[in-house]
Structure 1
């Protein structure tokens, strides 16, 4: 065991631990919740430390050997993250996280140049010209941009999968439904096409929102005034970060605003919520269209990817749509949480940055999983064409075009007298209006009602 001191006292640290006294204190103060850091967030944080070391060496603020050791240590980030022991939801605006990363990098850098742990300092060297308040939020934005790009790729795959089904099913006629009741006819492909267009809007929105989150406050240090950092560092640090991460971040025009206001996360998450809304709706539609299948709608045939019941043999459940709906509900709740946390920043800082960043990244992960799973699932869905035709033939909504011929009241009366039997209603109208059944049927062809061929 080694002993480390801070102004609060002394603690013993395991010899093989790369974290230090600040990290240990954080684990004593904040019980572990079980939440896990998004790996991309930790990568972004290590790259911020790398960028600072590169620039501080270039500007001669940091000894070259120490800077090189820090840079080399940050490149080992994937191996080092096992030493990040603080909880993602620790308090203090992310100070515990920043210090844990500072300590791990400093101690590993000391090892790399053959020095004892403690030779390279977490604050004086690794954290030079930085604060938790500019590094934490910047790491969050870099991570969100990176994860958003991954999410967009999954949205594209899901949209493409649905569009293939749109073309495959475009000539399959079926009954449409409004308020879960029979409506005018529609082509199954048209239903899939509507889902695809909804996702196209999500794809566009998520592409555009990157512009809103790329402005970072790195260099602003504690409250955006740049206190403790020289001007040449402040002016260039974001450019170095852009080179290191290959993410097109830009220095915010107003570092004070970018330090204290996190409304951009509310904006970004609002668009994530919009995607969750569409995924929820698509998943629920699939459940409804496949329901029964023998005693309800039963127009879609679900892929048998899991046994549906421990007691009912042969049952197949819509497990992936249910999975997506659950994750969408979680995103809805995250949105409320993030909106509230973003509004609760006080004066020069939002102290709730950890929960804002964490749940934004968690929502992106949930949505990526949803899009991936739903694309795989929809690709395996089949259609019960006979059921589609059977349901369509039974629907009195087929008579909607006859309103132009006979009027709303006469058609409604025939439907009611026929006890909502389509063919009986046609027979009644044929007799009362002195027109052949064949002529009536020609007027209500589903091809015309769905505009197929026009």
Structure 2
């Protein structure tokens, strides 16, 4: 294996000549064997870094700070990364000390060596094109890393919204399919009043729609960046016009409405936007988990549970109990939700733990956010494909439960009064007779009037009481 010699503050090291990363990346690999997951597994972050570096190079070229030939070579390298090439060269662990410096230097070195190769030079010929002097010109990790993290988070939010929208449509389709299926609603796991299964499933679609909007609001916060802040927000070592030009190029490269933060000192240390996004992801997880709890409960049985709906059977449920089928898809979504809630705690602690002009803990914020975004999107896709689209209703069983339910007495209360209705409910509970039969036996209503009051249209929506 041939090598090349590279130098840094601590001395010289031999680098395998086949790789595009350099000495700073090598030291980071040695220093941070934490998760076993490298930046290469987070394509959105690599793409975001490439776009940020490209915008910076173009801004520096416009200001006469970067030779156009070197700018073109850097942009060529960034284009390769944006197209998905060379992601395997990002070998630093995603959780690292140094506020993301190792990730930034991994990007600087890979881009520099790709650019050198494009120019016909050897890897490591940094006298001609340098990772710090040229690729990192007018930049610091402290403005590049947060800006790239915001762009990568926006990518993840967009992808999650697509998955949530597809799941919403699947629930809405089931709501339409079940619009005429009468069932008993429940509060506190006790019989309440009748509703339709369609109304129940429409609720799940509406909840998803609400959270898609909340994600859009959180995604808008990712559009304010601190690129141009350099080390602490004062813009040291950058041209006065650099921040504006870099943001202009970023908007052109992404077609997104990025803006430069009005106070770069504040923006460099404040992680509040990431806390907000994480909080919305927790909201999505909590409501999605509640929906899955309902699906598991409604399908419980088949003989000793509610048995109102049937989930598609996906696999044998037990190694000891023959014939058992478990609600494995809702169960796995529940577990994703638990993880997301835990990730939100991590983001909260990491954001709080920053000191003075910089938060050094953004790598674990990135790790937590990216996992939440990716796993929630996968959970939505899995729930839709392997569960929701195949749900069926036990229609006759549902109608029988309505007929037998004491909850029907609520619909009679406006006609018979609360006290008499309570007495009917007590008799029904004690005797096992139906509310319908007790009312007729007591002669409280004639059959035609009772049927009119208890028809599904009267039981499941507001309706004027007839005299």
Q: TM-score, normalised by structure 2?
A: 0.92
Checking the alignment, whether the CA contact within 8 Å between 2:58 and 2:246 is kept in structure 1 is no
Aligned residue for 1:267?
A: 276
| TM-score, length-scaled by structure 1 | 0.94
For 1:26, the equivalent position in structure 2 comes to 28
Give the corresponding residue for 1:111.
117
Call closer, same or farther: CA 1:227–1:425 in 2, change over 3 Å.
same
Is the CA contact 1:52–1:237 (under 8 Å) kept in the aligned structure 2? Answer: yes
CA contact (8 A) 1:399 1:444 kept: no
Question: After the TM superposition, which residues 354-433 of structure 1 pair with which residues of structure 2 at under 5 Å, given as runs?
Answer: 354-376=363-385, 377-420=387-430, 423-432=433-442
Measured in 2, the distance between the counterparts of 1:7 and 1:193 equals: 62
Equivalent residues, number: 454
Deviation at 1:48, TM superposition (A): 1.1
Contact 1:19 1:100 in 2 (8 A): yes
Contact 1:151 1:367 in 2 (8 A): yes
Quote how far apart the aligned CAs of 1:431 are: 4.6
The C-alpha deviation readout for 1:318-337, integer Å capped at 9, x for no partner, is 11111111111111111111
Matched, 1:234 2:250: no
- Is residue 2:205 matched to residue 1:180? no
| Greater alpha carbon shift after TM alignment, 80-89 vs 204-213 | 204-213
* Aligned residue in 2 for 1:451: 461
Is 1:309 the counterpart of 2:318? The answer is yes
Question: Unaligned 5+ residue runs, structure 2?
Answer: none
Q: Give yes or no for the alignment of 1:72 onto 2:82.
A: no
**Match of residue 5, structure 1, among 7, 14, 38:** 7
Displacement of 1:141? 0.6
Cα offset for 1:421?
Answer: 5.4
* Equivalent pair of 1:396/1:421 in contact (CA under 8 Å): no
- Cα gap change, 1:183 to 1:421, in 2 (>3 Å): farther
Structure 1: gaps of 5 or more residues: none
Secondary structure of 2:13 counterpart? strand
How far apart in 1 are the matches of 2:21 and 2:288? 41
SS in 1 for 2:433: helix
Q: Secondary structure at the match of 1:423?
A: coil
User: Where do 4+ consecutive residues of structure 1 move more than 4 Å?
Assistant: 424-442
Cα-to-partner distance string for 1:368-391 (whole Å, 9 max, x where unaligned): 112212222211111111111122
Pick closer, same or farther for the CA change 1:353–1:421 going to 2, 3 Å.
Answer: farther
- The structure-2 alpha-carbon separation of the partners of 1:420 and 1:324, relative to structure 1 and needing over 3 Å to count, comes to farther
Structure-2 separation of matches of 1:245 and 1:404: 61
CA distance in 1, matches of 2:365, 2:454: 55
2:98 aligned with 1:92, yes or no?
yes
TM-superposed CA distance for 1:447, in Å, is: 3.0
Kept in 2: contact 1:302–1:316 (CA 8 A): no
Q: Evaluate the alpha carbon distance shift between residue 426 and residue 392 of structure 1 in structure 2; reply closer, same or farther with a 3 A threshold.
A: closer
- RMSD value over aligned CA atoms? 2.0
